[in-house]
Amino acid sequence: MPEPRRCSSLGGMPHHLLSQRPVRRGRPAAELTRVARAHAAAAILVIMAAGVPEPVAAHPAKGVVCVSRVAVVGSPGGFTVGYAFRGDRVRVARRSANGRWAEIRTADELRGWARASALCQR
């Protein structure tokens, strides 16, 4: 059998090896797409679970505190910045995406988030 021709500019590599595709390393493209979709789905779930607030309503709703005392926090699940008491009238600027929190403002200008279950519509 004759010896294959060699290319002098590539250190004598045989010509039939030059036409072959290089070896791919890493994950196949289809698997990368699956991984990217999984990461995107996980990110969406995290955002939904965090209770991202909805846009501010044009006219804030009015409400009344229905429980004896509700903590007003700086952000949903955050630190307490004050308290609102039964009968206090509040303006509800917006609600969280999951509906559990309401951004409120009291008559004495206390602003923050309160549990929506502690408020009644006026």
For the chain, the domains span: 6-50, 61-121
User: What is the structure's pLDDT at 44?
Assistant: 75
* Residue-wise pLDDT tens digits, 85-122: 999 999 999 999 998 999 999 988 899 999 999 998 76
Of the candidates 117, 118, 113, the one whose C-alpha atom is nearest the C-alpha of residue 72 is 113
Query: Taking the alpha carbons of 43, 44, 50, 54 in that order, is the dihedral positive or negative?
Result: positive
Domain 61-121 homologous superfamily, CATH: SH3 Domains (2.30.30.40)
Give every strand in the sheet of 69-73, ordered side by side: 80-85, 69-73, 111-115, 101-106, 89-95, 61-65, 119-121
Q: Quick check: 109 and 49 in contact, CB under 8 A? A: no
11 versus 122: which is more confidently predicted?
Answer: 122
Q: What is the pLDDT of residues 45-93, one digit of tens each?
A: 777 776 655 554 556 788 999 999 999 999 888 899 999 999 999 999 9
116 contact partners, CB below 8 Å, separation of at least 6 = 95, 96, 99, 100, 101, 102
pLDDT at position 39: 75
* pTM of model > 0.85: no
pLDDT digits (tens, 9 = 90+) for 14-45: 555 555 555 556 656 566 577 777 777 777 77
Distance, in Å, from the CA atom of 112 to the CA atom of 56, rounded to the nearest integer, reads: 14
Question: Is 64 or 9 the better-scoring residue by pLDDT?
Answer: 64
